[in-house]
Structure 1
Amino acid sequence: MNIELLNVRIFIQKNEVISDAIGNRKNAWKDYYTCYATVSAEAGKESTDAGLVVDDSKIDFTIRYCKKAAALTSTGYRVQFGSELYDILAVDHMNFKRKCIKLSCQKVRR
């Protein structure tokens, strides 16, 4: 893996249950891990849904292997790249060689 290709910083956020001052519980996204990644994107797709134009872009991030990155799942984590948020669709451990991890993501609909 070429380290020089890891040229953009991404933030990985974890979904956690927090409670407020009076004990109400709600889900919140908290920063879990930050690292540099290689970005490879497909062409952006836009579709119309109920008269709205929806951006369904897919993007892949390749990051270096570490213990925190190895714990990533597609259900409890998301990626922040720049000002955009991406849901993790799949986590590929690249033949379990412990060198890199590929995150296949899709832009969050807001």
Structure 2
Amino acid sequence: MEVSLLNVKIQIQQNEIVVDEIGNHKNTWKEYYSCFATVSGEGGSEKSVAGLIVEDSDISFTIRYCKAVEKLDTTKHRILFMGELYNIVAIDHMNFKKKCIKLKGEKVRN
């Protein structure tokens, strides 16, 4: 993997359950890991949902392997990139060579 291609900073967030002082449980997103990545595969499509046309934008992030990203999970983590949130829909360990990991993200619709 060529290090010079890791030219954009991303933040990986983790979903946590926080209990307040009166016992209410609330989901929050906290910073889990921050690193540089290579962005590729920017694309997308439009589809009709409930009579509205919405954009489906997907993107791939390639990051260097480390112990922190080894435990990533598609249900507990998401990516913050250039102020936009992306749900992780797939994690590719690149043949388990422990050099890099590719994360496929889908833009979060608000």
Q: TM-score range by the shorter chain?
A: over 0.9
Distance 1:70 1:49 in 2: 35
Residue 60 of structure 1 is matched in structure 2 by 60
Q: Does 1:19 align with 2:30?
A: no
Query: Is 2:74 aligned against 1:74?
Result: yes
> What aligned pairs does 1:1-110 form with structure 2 within 5 A after superposition?
1-110=1-110
Measure, in 2, the Cα distance between the counterparts of 1:20 and 1:69: 29
User: Shift of the alpha carbon at 1:15?
Assistant: 0.5
Count, aligned residues: 110
Residue 4 of structure 1 aligns to a residue whose secondary structure is helix
In the TM superposition, what is the alpha-carbon distance from 1:23 to its structure 2 partner?
Answer: 1.3
Task: Kindly indicate which of the two structures has a greater share of residues assigned to strand.
Answer: 2
- Name stretches of at least 5 consecutive residues in structure 1 with no aligned partner: none
Alignment partner of 2:4: what SS?
helix
3-state SS in 1 of match to 2:44: coil
Query: What SS does structure 1 have at the residue aligned with 2:43?
Result: coil
Please give the TM-score of this superposition, normalised by the length of structure 1: 0.94
1:50 to partner: Cα distance? 2.5
List alignment gaps of at least 5 residues for structure 2: none
TM-score, scaled relative to structure 2: 0.94
Q: Which runs of 4+ in 1 moved over 2 A?
A: 41-44, 50-53
The worse-fitting range, judged by mean Cα deviation, of 78-87 and 47-56 is 47-56
CA apart distance, 1:94:
0.5
When the two chains are superposed, the root-mean-square deviation of aligned CA atoms in Å is 1.1
Amino acid at match of 1:99: K
Q: Which amino acid aligns with 2:86?
A: Y
Deviation at 1:30, TM superposition (A): 0.6
Q: What is the CA–CA distance in structure 2 between the aligned matches of 1:63 and 1:53, rounded to whole Å?
A: 32
Shift of 1:53: 2.9
